Amino acid sequence: MSLSKEIAEMIIKMLDDGDSTAEIRRNDLAQRIGCVPSQINYVIASRFTPEHGYIVESHRGGGGYIRITRANYDLSTLKMHLINSIGSQVDEKTCRANIINLFDRGLLTDEQARLILTATAEKNYRDLPEELRNSFRAVLLKQMLLATMN
Please report, as ranges, the residues that interact with DNA according to CB under 7 A.
2-5, 24-28, 35-42, 45-46, 58-66, 123
Total residues belonging to the chain? 150
The number of beta carbons lying within 10 Å of the beta carbon of residue 142 is: 20
Q: Under a CB-based contact definition with an 8 Å cutoff, are residues 48 and 11 in contact? A: yes
124 binds, among a second copy, DNA, none (CB under 5 to 8 A by kind): a second copy
The rounded distance, in Å, linking the Cα atoms of 68 and 63 is 16
Hey, which residues does 68 pair with through a beta bridge?
22, 56
- How far apart are CB 96 and DNA at their closest, in Å? 9
136 binds, among DNA, a second copy, none (CB under 5 to 8 A by kind): a second copy
In angstroms and rounded to an integer, the radius of gyration of the C-alpha atoms of the chain is 18
Nearer to DNA, 73 or 125 (CB): 125
Nearer to DNA, 16 or 23 (CB): 23
Size of the site for a second copy (CB under 8 A): 33
